[in-house]
Amino acid sequence: MSVLSVPAPAPVAPRRAAALVWGVAVSAYVAAVFHRSSLGVTGVDAADRFQINASVLATFSVAQLAVYALMQVPVGVLLDRFGSRRLLVAGGVLMVAGQLCFALATDVRLAIAARVLVGLGDAMTFISVLRIVAFWFPGRRNPLMTQLTGTFGQLGAILGAVPLVALLHRAGWTPAFLTAAAVGATVVLTVVVVVRDTPHRETATGPAPRLAVVGRELRAAWAQPGTRLGLWTHFVTQFSGAVFALLWGYPFLVQGQGLSPTAAASLLTLMTVATFLSGPVVAHLCARYPFHRSVLVFAVTGATAAVWAVVLAWPGRSPGWLLVALVLALALNGPGSMIGFDYARTANPVHRIGSATGVVNVGGFVAAILLVLAVGVVLDLATPAGRAAPDLAAFRWAFAVQYALWALGTVQVLRYRNATRRAAAARERTPDPR
Contacts of 407 (CB under 8 A, 6+ apart): none
What pLDDT does 209 receive? 62
* Spans of all domains in the chain: 1-209, 212-424
Structural contact between residues 121 and 181, judged by C-beta atoms closer than 8 angstroms: no
Helices 261-288 and 162-171 cross at an angle (nearest 10°) of 160
Q: Please give the CATH number for the structural domain made up of 212-424.
A: 1.20.1250.20
**Phi and psi (nearest 5°) for 344?**
-60, -40
What pLDDT does 408 receive? 97
What pLDDT does 200 receive? 72
What pLDDT does 4 receive? 45
333, amino acid identity: N
What pLDDT does 207 receive? 60
Domains 1-209 and 212-424 share a fold: yes
Average model confidence (pLDDT) across the chain: 85
Please give the Cα distance from 121 to 116 (Å, whole number): 9
What pLDDT does 44 receive? 79
What pLDDT does 186 receive? 96
- Structure confidence by residue, pLDDT tens digits, 182-228: 999 999 999 999 999 888 755 555 565 666 777 777 788 888 898 89
Please give the Cα distance from 128 to 393 (Å, whole number): 43
What pLDDT does 181 receive? 95
Q: Please give the CATH number for the structural domain made up of 1-209.
A: 1.20.1250.20
Please give the Cα distance from 164 to 179 (Å, whole number): 9
What pLDDT does 237 receive? 95
Residues in the chain where the model's pLDDT stays below 70? 1-13, 139-144, 147, 201-211, 350-355, 428-434
- Structure confidence by residue, pLDDT tens digits, 353-386: 666 777 887 888 889 989 998 999 999 899 887 7
